[in-house]
Every structure is written in structure tokens, then in C-alpha cells.
């Protein structure tokens, strides 16, 4: 009798242990938000994997050139990098024209070699801070793959800026991290590849304050995302160093925040 009781007790203990282990295994398996060491998973990391390759950028509207450099420019080579300069074999024509509201505006001034004409120089030097122009150079250049000569062009768009640009005290990397980290909740509504690009302009005043934040161009196609990004720009934490001219005069500075799929920005 005693022997049977011992066998029964041992069997019951083994079954109880198996039942407890099975139940506990199911409990752990059923909680996908727990890692193996019971720490919560970073859900943002999982969300990011489903997004398209996103671009976050804060810069001038077009390629920035200092006003003091504009006032010394006399040839198209003052606006090209070394790689671009080396591609030119013979220049056919040069057109300088202002840009307003993201469109070519006013009467262009033409030249036919690398030297800017008096009219072209007058046009670019009369362009004020944070106004824009383009120089389109039509030329004969050598194809780097085939070595053959072909008709080509350069058409850089240029924004005139003061000698000392406005600076975010914490650094540009910190600014972009703030925008990225605080936008992912809003981005969770993105559906497939429907996301568009957006530009939001804002001013850093001569007092180092954020002002005149506005939806500048295009849209993400999601109004709530557009609104969230505008809100983030308005509430950037930290301080800014105001822009200054070559004479040390503090002035307002325009930035443009660009966001969207990298292949559309």
C-alpha cells in the first residue's frame, strides 16, 4: 500500500511539473512585446523597417553661395566644382536668370563664353540675400564612359546667403535626430509607396528665434503627417546662433526642411 502511494505521489509531481512548464512556455510565447530578457522591444525599430528610405534635410533652398563671393564672381567657373570644370571642352552659351516662387522669372541675360557679361554680373550682384538665380551653361563635353564629345549642360540653382550662416547650437546631427525620433509615431499611417515629399520653410530671426514656419511646397499626401512636421519645426528645442553679414550685421536666415522618400527629394 505504502509503495503504491509513493509511486502515485511521484507520478503526480512529474505531471504537475510538466503542466507548469507547458503553461509557462505558452505564456512567454504569447507575448511578442517581450524579449528573451524580459525587456520591452523598441517598437520604433520594427516600424522603421517597413518605411521607404526616408530623407530628412535642413538646408538653404538651393546651393548656398556667400554674398561676398557673388560680388567677386566674374566667370561661370566661380560657380562650378573641379569635376564640372574638367568636363567642359567648349562653351556654346551661358544664360543667367533669377528664380522666384521656384520658377524662372524676369528677363535672362546671355553670354557665349566662360566670362560673365556686364549685364550678367549686374543681375547676380543685384540679387539680395535668400533670393535665387540659375546659370545654365550649354557646352561640348567629353563623355567619361565613351570618350566621345557630346552636347551637355550645367544648370546649378543658387541661393545667396550671408557670410555667417545661422547655426543650431546643438549641431545639425542633433537637429535631424530630433526630427526623425519625434516623427515616427505620425508616420505609422504610411500605406505602401503613397508617401510624397514636402518642403517646410522657416526663418531664424536676428534674435535667434524660429519664425514664419510655413508649408512651402509639395505634400506627403497625408495631412496629419504634414501638420506633425510643421509642429516639430515650430517647437525645435535648443538655441540658434543668428546669421551675420560680412560687416557683422545680424540678419534673418531662411531654412528649408525637406522630408520624404529619398528618391523623391
Global confidence as pTM: 0.77
Res 52: pLDDT: 78
Task: For 62-111, give the DSSP string.
Answer: SEEEEHHHHTT--BGGGGS-HHHHHHEEEEEEEEEEEEETTEEEEEEEEE
d(CA 258, CA 59) in angstroms, rounded, equals: 8
Q: Which three cell numbers stand for residue 80?
A: 562650378
Contact yes or no for 28/234 (Cβ under 8 A): no
Contact yes or no for 168/174 (Cβ under 8 A): yes
Secondary structure letter of residue 34 according to DSSP: B
H-run or E-run covering 48: helix 43-50
Percent of the chain at pLDDT exceeding 90: 72
Q: What is the pLDDT of residues 10-69, one digit of tens each?
A: 444 444 444 444 344 343 333 333 333 333 323 344 444 466 799 999 999 999 999 999
CB neighbourhood size of 151 (10 A): 9
Secondary structure letter of residue 41 according to DSSP: P
d(CA 43, CA 50) in angstroms, rounded, equals: 12
Q: Which three cell numbers stand for residue 48?
A: 522603421
Closest CA to 209 of 175, 245, 243, 163: 243
H-run or E-run covering 27: helix 2-29
Q: What is the pLDDT of residues 115-136, one digit of tens each?
A: 999 999 999 999 999 999 999 9
Amino acid at each position: 500500500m505504502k509503495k503504491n502511494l509513493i509511486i502515485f505521489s511521484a507520478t503526480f509531481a512529474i505531471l504537475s511539473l510538466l503542466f507548469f512548464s507547458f503553461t509557462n512556455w505558452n505564456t512567454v510565447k504569447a507575448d511578442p512585446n517581450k524579449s528573451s530578457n524580459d525587456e520591452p522591444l523598441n517598437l520604433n525599430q520594427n516600424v522603421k523597417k517597413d518605411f521607404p528610405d526616408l530623407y530628412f534635410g535642413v538646408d538653404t533652398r538651393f546651393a548656398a553661395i556667400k554674398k561676398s563671393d557673388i560680388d567677386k564672381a566674374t566667370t561661370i567657373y566661380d560657380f562650378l566644382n573641379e569635376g564640372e570644370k574638367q568636363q567642359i571642352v567648349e562653351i556654346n552659351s551661358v544664360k543667367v536668370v533669377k528664380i522666384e516662387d521656384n520658377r524662372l522669372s524676369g528677363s535672362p541675360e546671355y553670354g557665349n563664353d566662360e566670362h560673365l557679361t556686364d549685364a550678367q554680373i549686374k543681375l547676380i550682384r543685384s540679387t539680395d540675400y535668400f533670393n535665387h538665380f540659375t546659370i545654365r551653361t550649354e557646352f561640348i563635353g567629353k563623355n567619361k564612359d565613351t570618350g566621345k564629345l557630346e552636347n551637355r549642360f550645367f544648370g546649378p540653382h543658387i541661393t545667396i546667403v550671408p557670410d555667417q550662416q545661422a547655426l543650431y547650437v546643438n549641431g545639425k546631427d542633433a537637429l535631424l535626430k530630433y526630427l526623425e525620433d519625434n516623427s515616427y509615431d505620425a508616420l505609422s499611417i504610411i500605406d505602401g509607396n503613397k508617401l510624397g515629399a514636402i518642403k517646410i520653410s522657416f526663418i531664424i530671426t536676428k534674435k535667434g528665434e524660429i519664425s514664419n514656419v510655413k508649408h512651402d511646397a509639395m505634400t506627403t499626401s497625408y495631412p496629419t503627417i504634414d501638420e506633425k512636421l510643421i509642429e516639430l519645426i515650430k517647437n525645435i528645442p535648443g538655441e540658434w546662433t543668428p546669421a551675420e553679414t560680412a560687416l557683422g550685421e545680424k540678419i534673418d536666415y531662411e531654412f528649408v526642411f525637406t522630408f520624404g522618400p529619398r528618391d523623391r527629394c
